[in-house]
Structure 1
Amino acid sequence: MTLPISAQTDSMRLGYRQASQRHRLAFLIIGSVLLALVLADLVSGPSGMSLADIWKTLLAGPWGADRMNAIILWQLRMPQTIMGIVVGACLGLAGLKMQTILDNPLASPFTLGFSAAAGFGAAIAIMFGGVLMIPLSIATPLIAFVMTLAACGMVYVVAMLRGASAGLLVLAGIAVMFFFQSLQALLQFLASPEVLQQIVFWLFGSLLKASWSGVAVAGTIFLVCFPIAMVDSWKLTVLRLGDANASSLGLSVESVRRRSFVLIALLTAAAVSFVGTIGFIGLIAPHMARALVGEDHRLTLPLSALSGAVLVVAASVIGKVISPAGALPVGIVTAIAGVPVLFALIINRSGGQKR
């Protein structure tokens, strides 16, 4: 028996209100977890500052009476924690867009070779920083950023010439990744033991490299890219229906892919240029967001960014707990924790295809 139209309308309204409440609860939970992890990250460290000390130093500001605590919090811990939030947000947002435009739930920002290009740029800066006459703290992120954009340009040219299909982008990205990895390996082979050690440490991915200037640059890039990504939120949601269905609805699929591709490159460059390679965040954060709010990109985009921030800050806390004297690089923690999650995603996807 068919329900009256008024009853159907009331049922739809009730369902919408319940879904909205669940979505608000999801944002509240993720935001609360992030806040708790930020406090834990600020408290963690070899100096042994308590939560009360952290609170007093925060209220006193960077020029508080207790100079030692002020330096530890405002010059060391705070930039690292905020950079963790920014890097996680960049990778989470880039990861969701990457999985959407490639229609591949196992894609990540590093699929197109951007991290390999950044690693090559960092290796150049570390090896030839003296010749460039630029401080290493500036040269390393700068050249890493430039090389990431160069990789973006290479893939983008292929997309312009041959069409921005998902398969072509993946193939071009794999070619670019192997190209920059081979150049990176060549520099490592030619480097002295001291320089090689610096290159390898950069590739680990560590928030210990964070500074306020890096936070400002990476944060600005994220704040510019995020509203642009949100403008395309409905188009990205439609793209999840498949290229044919999206095109039949009037969506310019290749245009959306190219625009998203440029944003992914900028976000990934902002993330990896300052702290090195941090893997699996762009892979896992989108799945967390989809599990909580579904495929509506108006919700999934911001929640994926928040989830990425949670994962990076959590990895920072875990690294400090495991190695209090010298924090374990975040990239190592995310790699170790990300592998079983990746296997779970692959098994779950394979099981879904069999059914």
Structure 2
Amino acid sequence: MGLKEGQRRFGKKLGLWLLPLLFVLLLVVIGSVSLGSAQLSFYVVWKIILSHVPFIPDMEKDWSKAAEVIVWNIRMPRILLAILVGAALAVAGVAYQGVLRNPLADPYILGVSSGASLGAACFMMFGQSIALFGQWTLPLIAFICGMGTLFVVYRLAYMAGKVQMETLLLSGVVVQAFLGAGLSLVMSMSGEKMQRIFYWLMGSLTLSDWSSGVVVAPYVILGGLIIFLFAGELNLLAFGEQKAHHLGMNVERTRLVILIAASLTAGAAVSVSGVIGFVGLIVPHIMRAIVGSDHRVLLPISAVAGAILLIAADTIARTVMEPQELPIGVITAFLGAPFFGYLLRKRRQRFF
């Protein structure tokens, strides 16, 4: 009876927050697809979208071919990719913060995003002729490099048989600086490919198309599903590794699986968007303050909130200085850097 009551309360709490957030996501999508440098009416935009929805009767096409290309081949793939990337970075941030028990951990700060971006940039420049898995190769390379970066950061912070969390952050900063230098070197050698790699460095969804979403979606879904299946273990880790071990958890194996899944999710996102910082830091904190620390609720709620944040940031990036477009990483950095400073100051006050 107690278990059924707990499941009922969990489902009620999840629905209470998830449904309103999904409605907000729908509103943000509607606003984003309707805005742009091309002056298209709301009516025309949604007639174009509905004309591509299955089982809706054919309607008279009273719009130009250019309008259809802008809405269906440019704006819609970009919004889909923003949903996938935002959800991936937010879920990865929840996983990193939960498994490392550090509220300042996220894919960007730990260097995973930079490692994945450097691997993707090197592949774009040197390795496209040997793409063994076709269009699936790029996310795989990004994942491997992101995972390798996390391993290096983790080993640098491993001292006296355990990981010092403050040292982990410093290790992430050091490794990220090194990877940033490597990425700058690749850019200086890239020649005509510099513009594409530049968007990797700053974070952008400009080069997205339908194939980008199709390629990255399986990686994001698989990684996110694995993390969600370990939500109960993340709840136990919140009480400390020793207590989790006494309750029967294999802490080291659980931590490894979650970190690999989080790196897969973040690496896949970075492979199509470049380095977009602070989404994995801001969203988990805000959602945790609202819905609590139960990861069974926090993970799906953060995924939707991450999608909302990135769609909004991307819409601002492409409309605030029309016709010029800002890198989306600039918008998230303006939001995230002060928030990170606030968290860091708050954390220091606990020790002094």
TM-score, length-scaled by structure 2? 0.83
Q: Where does residue 50 of structure 2 map in the other structure? A: 59
Aligned equivalents of 1:236, 1:258: Cα separation in 2:
12
Preserved contact between residue 289 and residue 303 of structure 1 (Cα < 8 Å): yes
Amino acid paired to 2:45: I
Q: How far did 1:239 drift?
A: 0.4
The residue matched to 1:317 in structure 2 has which SS? helix
Q: Could you say if the C-alpha distance between residues 327 and 134 of structure 1 is closer, same or farther in structure 2, counting changes exceeding 3 Å?
A: farther
Q: How far did 1:343 drift?
A: 2.2
Q: Could you say if the C-alpha distance between residues 229 and 200 of structure 1 is closer, same or farther in structure 2, counting changes exceeding 3 Å?
A: same
Q: How far did 1:157 drift?
A: 8.5
Aligned equivalents of 1:293, 1:202: Cα separation in 2:
33
Preserved contact between residue 286 and residue 304 of structure 1 (Cα < 8 Å): yes
5+ residue gaps, structure 1, are 1-8
Q: Where does residue 286 of structure 1 map in the other structure? A: 284
Q: Where does residue 271 of structure 1 map in the other structure? A: 269
Aligned equivalents of 2:232, 2:190: Cα separation in 1:
48
Q: Where does residue 185 of structure 1 map in the other structure? A: 184
List aligned pairs for 1:71-86, cutoff 5 A: 71-86=69-84
Q: Where does residue 37 of structure 2 map in the other structure? A: 46
Q: Could you say if the C-alpha distance between residues 68 and 134 of structure 1 is closer, same or farther in structure 2, counting changes exceeding 3 Å?
A: farther
Give the fraction of aligned pairs with identical amino acids, expressed as a percent.
Answer: 33
Q: Where does residue 316 of structure 1 map in the other structure? A: 314
1:32 aligns with 2:23: yes
Q: How far did 1:166 drift?
A: 4.3
The residue matched to 1:97 in structure 2 has which SS? helix
Preserved contact between residue 284 and residue 298 of structure 2 (Cα < 8 Å): yes
Q: Could you say if the C-alpha distance between residues 205 and 233 of structure 1 is closer, same or farther in structure 2, counting changes exceeding 3 Å?
A: same
Aligned equivalents of 1:89, 1:347: Cα separation in 2:
27
How far does the alpha carbon of each residue in 1:150-180 deviate from its partner, in whole angstroms, 9 at most, with x for none?
34146448979x8995448937756654553
Q: Where does residue 114 of structure 1 map in the other structure? A: 112
CA RMSD of aligned residues (A): 3.4
The residue matched to 2:293 in structure 1 has which SS? coil
Q: Could you say if the C-alpha distance between residues 35 and 71 of structure 1 is closer, same or farther in structure 2, counting changes exceeding 3 Å?
A: same
Amino acid paired to 2:82: G
Aligned equivalents of 1:290, 1:103: Cα separation in 2:
13
List aligned pairs for 1:272-351, cutoff 5 A: 272-351=270-349
Q: Where does residue 150 of structure 1 map in the other structure? A: 145
Q: How far did 1:190 drift?
A: 4.2
User: What is the number of equivalent residue pairs in this alignment?
Assistant: 336
Structure (1 or 2) with the larger CA radius of gyration:
1
The residue matched to 1:209 in structure 2 has which SS? coil
Aligned equivalents of 1:128, 1:354: Cα separation in 2:
48
- More helix by percentage: 1
Q: Could you say if the C-alpha distance between residues 21 and 347 of structure 1 is closer, same or farther in structure 2, counting changes exceeding 3 Å?
A: farther
Q: How far did 1:182 drift?
A: 3.5
Amino acid paired to 2:284: P
Q: Where does residue 5 of structure 1 map in the other structure? A: none
The residue matched to 2:206 in structure 1 has which SS? helix
TM-score, length-scaled by structure 1? 0.82
